Chains A and B, each alone.
Chain A
Amino acid sequence: MSVFHRFANPNRFLKLTNQVLPWVSGLTVISLAVGLYMSFFTSPPDYQQGESVRIMYIHVPSAWMAMFVYTSIAIASVCSLIWRHPLADLAAKASAPIGAGFTFLALATGSLWGKPMWGAWWVWDARLTSVLILFFLYLGHMALMHAFEEQERGNKAAAVLAIVGFVNIPIIKFSVDWWNTLHQPASVMRADGPSIDPSMLWPLMIMGVAFKLFYIVVLLIRIKSELIEAKLRKYRRAVVDKAH
């Protein structure tokens, strides 16, 4: 726990963030550039889907991030409820819009992919419906955070929602195995190894890493600005108090 507490100190966190941020940003740009180049130019068209398969390189990493960010929020919420860490609330608050963005991207690219391949923009099968619910959970989380006069109560309500909503994550993951769906089963994270050819798996993995790095960059920037804002508020209050 001691490491955890050490970095939960806002000042130490800010210092560490400033050191790490340029490196992570650079890695994000490089991996995104390499990943996109491979996705669109060097990877082969699919034997069935042809060139449309390239939507996968955006769609699948977005969907991974939609679930990953939500899981991070749920973990942060547990820390916030049990250990009352101020940074945990900040992390949850800063993550929600990013996760909502990824979820929207997954839904939108999935829709664009579904029309040419399946013949429908949208169907109400278990996978698509559970991801739409995830999107609404993100929106609800963001709304609850700001629904109360006191930030404390908003944080608490949003944390409870995030933990309750976490039941949806395994449902999304296993929906394609538990029920008949139009959406195909998992290709990468499956028991018997990926069913994607290495020439397509590599760009997909690089895109996955790039998206994860992007999340870290935006998350750090957002937490940083929240911390600075809190500091500013404190100074302003001190100045006002002195004037009186």
Chain B
Amino acid sequence: MTRKSRRMYVLVVAIALLASATALVLTALDDNITYFYSPSDLKTKQVTVGRALRLGGLVEDGTFEKLDGGLKVKFSITDGAETVAVNYEGILPDLFREGQGVITEGSLNEKGEFIAHEVLAKHDENYMPAEVIEALKASGEWRGDEEQITE
């Protein structure tokens, strides 16, 4: 074996080992790398009351309401399967609306409601001019809002 081909084999083996080690670490840390839980995750993971976490999903249509006419708001986050009620007091991001993806930071209370102290808007990967959306909606082919964040 020449020195060149030996160097090549050493490099290939080293890269293969490194890649599998990284894959194992990332799989083990899966839960920690995930930035937010979905409402379904909350049900399956048995989250304790008061533990800080992030909850993400779509703002359910028809659930948004302002309390006391001020900064206090209430809405539900859904992932299609499960729904969690969220209470929040503060300023909402510009993109916040019903049907929009959001990520909230806070904790669950005893009643199973989520008390958020921060709300971030998650926008989807579709980029389009407004006229195109109008045209799609007019022809009944627009289905953008329902298909996001269901994992």
Across the interface, name the chain A residue whose C-beta is closest to B56.
A180
CA–CA, A125 and B120, complex, Å? 13
Could you give, for residues 33-72 of chain B, a 1 whenever the CB lies within 8 Å of some chain A CB and a 0 otherwise? 1111110000000000000000010000000000000000
Q: Per a CB cutoff under 8 Å, which of A83, A180, A196 touches B127? A: A196
Q: Is the CB of A47 within 8 A of B122?
A: no
Secondary structure of the B contact surface, majority rule:
mixed
> Which residues of chain A from 181 to 204 have any CB-CB distance to chain B below 8 Å in the complex?
181-182, 184-187, 190, 195-197, 199-200
Q: Per a CB cutoff under 8 Å, which of B8, B34, B127 touches A82? A: B8
* Contact-residue size bin, chain B (C-beta under 8 Å from the other chain): 35 or more
For residue A118, CB closer than 8 A to chain B, the reply is yes
Least Cβ–Cβ distance between A127 and chain B, in angstroms: 9
For residue A116, CB closer than 8 A to chain B, the reply is yes
CA–CA, A82 and B4, complex, Å? 6
For A48, list chain B residues within 8 Å (CB): 95, 123
Least Cβ–Cβ distance between B2 and chain A, in angstroms: 11
With contacts A49-B95, A163-B11, A181-B35 taken as known, whether A171 is within 8 angstroms of B128 at the C-beta atoms is no
- How many residues of chain A get a CB closer than 8 Å to chain B's CBs? 41
For residue B110, CB closer than 8 A to chain A, the reply is no
For residue A44, CB closer than 8 A to chain B, the reply is yes
For residue B73, CB closer than 8 A to chain A, the reply is no
CA–CA, A119 and B103, complex, Å? 10
For B8, list chain A residues within 8 Å (CB): 82
Q: Is the CB of A167 within 8 A of B129?
A: no
CA–CA, A120 and B94, complex, Å? 12
> Which residues of chain A from 66 to 110 have any CB-CB distance to chain B below 8 Å in the complex?
78, 81-83
Across the interface, name the chain B residue whose C-beta is closest to A197.
B128
For residue A229, CB closer than 8 A to chain B, the reply is no
Least Cβ–Cβ distance between B27 and chain A, in angstroms: 10
Least Cβ–Cβ distance between A79 and chain B, in angstroms: 11
CA–CA, A185 and B36, complex, Å? 15
Question: Interface on B for A, CB 8 Å cutoff?
Answer: 4, 7-8, 11, 14-15, 18-19, 22, 26, 30, 33-38, 56, 92-95, 103, 118-133, 151
A-B contact pairs, 19 of them (CB 8 A): A45-B129, A47-B128, A47-B130, A47-B133, A48-B123, A117-B93, A117-B94, A117-B95, A117-B123, A118-B120, A119-B93, A167-B22, A178-B26, A179-B30, A182-B103, A190-B125, A195-B125, A197-B127, A200-B127
